[in-house]
Amino acid sequence: MANPKTDKTILRALAGETLPTPPIWMMRQAGRYLPEYKATRAKAGDFLSLCYNPELATEVTLQPIRRFGFDAAILFADILLIPQALGADLWFVTGEGPRLSTITGEAELAQLRGVDDIHETLSPIYQTVRNLRQELPKETTLIGFAGAPWTVATYMIAGKGTPDQGPAHELKGTHPAVFDALIERLTEATIEYLSAQIEAGAEVVKLFDSWAGSLNGPDFDRYALEPTKRIITALKKRHPDTPVIAFPRQAKDAYIGFAKATGADCVAVDDSVTAEWVAEHVQPGGCVQGNLASSHMVTGGDALVSQTRRIVQALRNGPHIFNLGHGITPDANPDNVQLMIDTVRET
């Protein structure tokens, strides 16, 4: 658990403290909605070059802290760096997103590298973490992250993002041994990757299971809950004082009890559930994070203010970190981000 005596409000919330004003950060807060990010991205040349350049990745991580004064910075990287470190081909298509070489059977799986071999590729990421610990304001918490095994596997199997994660579900049904072996490899790699981030200076780590909502019943338990539990258990054994935030996006009723079942210090919730529901069903189990719809960062206005206030008020009787229900989008207006922050801190 985090030290409740710290000045860092996010660590206090993660330790279970109910604060008069919730700490705030924002998923994808360093990104394409900021003109200063676009300028740095142009200097890097392309997205992956930016991820692997510690100087520039440090710069874009710091940009939203300088502009907005968030209570936390999240490492600038991508969830698909682990597949690349395992030997998958990875590239980004402008306007369309990531593309990977695919895992469809035993032959492709056998070509992946071992977990012990990922650190050479990922060493620039660890250097970015070290840089950030030196350069962040003393009151700002540094968050590291990784994608959860199920979510990362969906991209590795399809070769890109898909609306329903259909290729992964198909492989899970037709070649369960291959699918299970891929989940196992990703689980072990994620433990090593997050542990290395913590050793480099990350004070909190977050596990993004962006496509957890497409898993149901026993599949959710087996491929979302259990890998998360394994990762957190391993990290707590090595780094008992480092809090972990879990985000099984669109888990619906499976949000209930997720923290207790996995050992997570906080459960991030998306905006498909209301803050009032979260207060009743999830927050009694510990810290929650969320959950303003990211569309408000585009549209702004009175609706942004009223929904922000509603979330703060609904979750004010327990530990809460204010955030969006999903990442901020490239068409967001930075002025709306400032309005959200001001509203949280004035409510």
Q: What is the helix (H) or strand (E) element at residue 164, kind and residue range?
A: none
pLDDT of residue 6: 77
Average pLDDT (126-141) is 97
Q: Is the pLDDT of residue 1 over 70?
A: no
pLDDT of residue 289: 98
Average pLDDT, the chain: 97
pLDDT of residue 7: 84
Q: Is the pLDDT of residue 68 over 60?
A: yes
Q: Is the pLDDT of residue 4 over 90?
A: no
What is the chain's alpha carbon radius of gyration, rounded to the nearest angstrom? 19
Residues 342 and 119: their CA atoms lie apart, in Å, by: 40
pLDDT of residue 169: 98
Average pLDDT (275-301) is 98
Residues 140 and 133: their CA atoms lie apart, in Å, by: 9
Per-residue pLDDT tens digits for 245-273: 999 999 999 999 999 999 999 999 999 99
Q: What is the helix (H) or strand (E) element at residue 293, kind and residue range?
A: none
84 pLDDT band, cuts 50/70/90, is: very high
Q: Is the pLDDT of residue 218 over 80?
A: yes
> Is the distance from CB of 135 to CB of 63 less than 8 angstroms?
no
pLDDT of residue 132: 98
Query: What are the structural domain ranges in the chain?
Result: 9-346
Q: Is the pLDDT of residue 303 over 50?
A: yes
Q: Is the pLDDT of residue 89 over 90?
A: yes
CATH 3.90.105.10 fits 9-346, yes or no: no
pLDDT of residue 5: 55
Q: Is the pLDDT of residue 331 over 60?
A: yes
pLDDT of residue 95: 82
Q: Is the pLDDT of residue 2 over 50?
A: no
Average pLDDT (88-116) is 94
Residues 255 and 24: their CA atoms lie apart, in Å, by: 21
Q: Is the pLDDT of residue 13 over 90?
A: yes
> Is the distance from CB of 60 to CB of 77 less than 8 angstroms?
no
Instruction: Compute CA 130 distance to the chain's CA centroid, rounded to the nearest angstrom.
Output: 19
Residues 144 and 132: their CA atoms lie apart, in Å, by: 11
Count the helix, strand and coil residues of the chain and give each as a percent rounded to the nearest 5. 55, 15, 35
pTM: 0.97
Catalytic residue IDs: 28, 32, 41, 78, 155
Question: Three-state DSSP class for 275?
Answer: helix
Bridging pattern class, strands 204-209 and 141-147: parallel
Q: Is the pLDDT of residue 94 over 90?
A: no
